[in-house]
């Protein structure tokens, strides 16, 4: 089994620079989000090579159409000169299996900010973009997102060592049974969904409170940014396509001119090319929009860590409160004074006090209960302290990754916009040359 060394140095995922002057082909979008630096990625190459539409019957025996994704892994050792690379091991996975894997990771590693999956259905769409989850363009972008998810996990110094993750990559049959056999579903704390521990925590950790607030604000900002981008894409698409009218008019005009005809015809051709270029431009823009969406979804993963900490803090406070109550009971029993009204105290006054033997028996039981309470508080304290230590280490890793990723994505997006404007200037410069030659 190929596993990462547990002592491997932590690698931060970064977005690589891409050639913004060339348009990526539909089935050849290069994933640049993750640096292949961890020991697992040094030993094996991981990719989601293609997507395929299939038709079958679901659990209620109804016909359905769904998409499966081909995962390829191969040894990453260098090939000797004149040799051929090893054939990749391949298997097919549905999106729901990626969801199951991520849920398992969320439950098993609650202190880690688990990488998000790409959207299941398109969000923040503009009118020309299909919201159909079986649309070829959307499926292709989701293929890239799923590959990015696997590389994110494989580049993490803890997650890359997980046995279930390795089985996900290597065992097509039996993997689902293996992950369910771990019993992770039994570990899902329903209170995380039904109870807001934050409302009851008396002394919340200010760092996690601030982190949760930051996550909420980041979610709002990125959502607004994506909405603005969708509106701009809508308008830009219209502006570019309207330029096609120049081409039509110049072409019609050239038909009635002799000396000016060739120049007008050439200018019209440049305008047609300009109008048609917007399709490729906005398709490339979706690649950068998907990078922003990843961090929109990352905010949920950050909040999940914060909620888990709140619950642990709440349980610690409840254990401490229970211990204090038991100590108070012991004090009342020893001194014979009742500081708080209780049914037992009232009964004792009405029907007489208990015997010495009964008092000693009760005292012994309370002392035993106090010992158990002390152990419970110590255990919760240690559990909470260990969680905070591990979680904050991963949070610092995530912050560094986030800053680099978003900075690179925004810079690349700006460069792409500059390139687009330069192409527009070039089109009008060419048209000017055509007019000069008339």
Compute CA distances 398 → 33, 53, 115, whole Å.
14, 35, 10
- Using alpha carbons, list the distances in angstroms from residue 118 to 84, 136, 285: 34, 15, 16
Q: What is the 3-state secondary structure (H, E, C) of the chain?
A: CCCCCCCCCCCCCCCCCCCCCCCCCCCCCCCCCCCCCCHHHHHEEEEEEEEEEEEEECCCCCEEEEEEEEEEEEECCCCCCCCCCCCCEEEEEEHHHHHHHHHHHHHHCCCCCCCCCCCCCCCCCCCCCCCCCCCHHHHHHHHHHHHHHHHHHHCCCCHHHCHHHHHHHHCCCCHHHHHHHCCHHHHCCCHHHHCCHHHCCCCCCHHHHHHHHHHHHHHHHHHHHHHHHHHHHHHHHHHHHHHHHHHHHHHHHHCCCCCCHHHHHHHHHHHHHHHHCHHHHHHHHHHHHHHHHHHHHHHHHHHHHHHHHHHHHHHHHHHHHHHHHHHHHHHHHHHCCCCCCCHHHHHHHHHCCCCHHHHHHHHHHHHHHHHHHHHHHHHHHHHHHHHHHHHHHHHHHHHHHHHHHHHHHHHHHHHHHHHHHHHHHHHHHHHHHHHHCC
| Count of other CB atoms within 10 angstroms of residue 136 | 13
Phi-psi label, residue 124: left if phi above 0, alpha if psi -120 to 50, beta otherwise: left
Distances (CA, A) of 37 to 8, 71, 363, 399: 10, 20, 61, 18
pLDDT at residue 260, as a whole number: 92
Quote the pLDDT of residue 262: 92
Q: Do the Cβ atoms of 156 and 167 come closer than 8 Å?
A: no
Helix (H), strand (E), coil (C) string for 36-102: CCCHHHHHEEEEEEEEEEEEEECCCCCEEEEEEEEEEEEECCCCCCCCCCCCCEEEEEEHHHHHHHH
Q: Please give the pLDDT value at position 44.
A: 87
pTM of the model: 0.80
Give Cα 364 to chain centroid, integer Å: 53
- The pLDDT score that the predictor gives to residue 189 is 57
Identify the pLDDT of residue 196. Answer: 55
User: In the prediction, which pLDDT does 12 show?
Assistant: 34
CA–CA distance from 288 to each of 12, 75, 422 (Å)? 19, 30, 19
Q: What is the pLDDT along the chain (438 residues), one digit of tens a residue?
A: 333 343 333 333 333 333 334 433 444 444 445 555 566 888 889 999 999 988 877 666 677 888 999 999 988 765 455 556 666 788 999 999 999 999 999 999 999 999 999 988 777 776 666 666 778 888 888 999 999 999 999 999 999 999 999 999 999 888 999 999 988 887 775 545 444 555 578 888 899 999 999 999 999 999 999 999 999 999 999 999 999 999 999 999 999 988 899 999 999 999 999 999 998 888 888 888 999 999 999 999 999 999 899 888 988 988 999 999 988 888 887 776 655 545 555 555 544 566 777 777 888 888 899 999 999 999 999 999 999 999 999 999 999 999 999 999 999 999 999 999 999 999 999 999 999 988
Distance CA 71, CA 56 (A): 20
Beta bridge partners of 54: 66
Residue environment code for 281-317, b if the CB has 16+ CB neighbours within 10 A, otherwise e: bbbbbbbbbbbbbbbbbbbebbbbbbbbbbbbbbbbb
Report pLDDT for 351.
Answer: 46
CA 380 – CA 315 distance, rounded (Å): 7
pLDDT at 155: 92
Specify the pLDDT at position 209: 92
pLDDT at 331: 83
């Amino acid at each position: 089994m190929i596993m990462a060394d547990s002592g491997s140095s932590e690698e931060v995922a970064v977005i690589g620079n891409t050639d913004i002057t060339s348009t990526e082909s539909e089935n050849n979008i290069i994933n640049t989000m993750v640096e292949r630096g961890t020991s697992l990625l040094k030993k094996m190459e991981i990719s989601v090579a293609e997507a395929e539409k299939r038709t079958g019957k679901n659990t209620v025996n109804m016909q359905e159409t769904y998409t499966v994704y081909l995962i390829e892994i191969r040894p990453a050792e260098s090939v000797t000169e004149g040799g051929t690379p090893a054939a990749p091991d391949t298997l097919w996975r549905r999106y729901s299996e990626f969801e199951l894997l991520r849920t398992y990771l969320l439950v098993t590693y609650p202190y880690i900010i688990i990488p998000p999956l790409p959207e299941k259905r398109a969000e923040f769409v503009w009118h020309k973009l299909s919201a159909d989850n079986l649309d070829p363009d959307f499926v292709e972008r989701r293929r890239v997102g799923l590959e990015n998810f696997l590389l994110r996990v494989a580049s993490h110094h803890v997650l890359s060592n997980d046995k279930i993750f390795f089985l996900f990559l290597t065992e097509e049959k039996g993997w689902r049974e293996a992950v369910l056999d771990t019993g992770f579903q039994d570990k899902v704390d329903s209170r995380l969904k039904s109870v807001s521990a934050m409302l009851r925590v008396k002394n919340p950790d200010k760092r996690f409170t601030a982190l949760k607030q930051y996550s909420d604000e980041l979610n709002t900002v990125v959502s607004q940014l994506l909405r603005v981008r969708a509106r701009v894409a809508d308008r830009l698409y219209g502006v570019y396509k309207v330029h096609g009218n120049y081409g039509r008019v110049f072409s019609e005009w050239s038909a009635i001119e002799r000396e000016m005809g060739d120049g007008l015809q050439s200018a019209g051709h440049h305008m047609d090319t300009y109008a048609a270029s917007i399709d490729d431009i906005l398709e490339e823009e979706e690649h950068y929009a998907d990078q922003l969406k990843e961090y929109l979804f990352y905010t949920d993963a950050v909040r999940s860590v914060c909620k888990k900490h709140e619950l642990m803090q709440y349980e610690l406070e409840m254990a401490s409160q229970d211990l204090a109550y038991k100590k108070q009971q012991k004090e009342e029993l020893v001194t014979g004074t009742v500081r708080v009204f209780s049914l037992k105290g009232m009964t004792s006054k009405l029907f007489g006090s208990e015997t010495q033997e009964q008092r000693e028996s009760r005292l012994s039981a309370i002392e035993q209960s106090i010992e158990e309470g002390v152990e419970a508080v110590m255990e919760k304290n240690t559990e909470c302290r260990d969680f905070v230590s591990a979680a904050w280490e991963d949070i610092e890793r995530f912050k560094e990754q986030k800053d680099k990723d978003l900075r690179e994505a925004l810079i690349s997006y700006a460069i792409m916009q500059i390139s687009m404007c330069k192409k527009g200037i070039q089109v009008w410069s060419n048209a000017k040359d055509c007019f000069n030659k008339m």
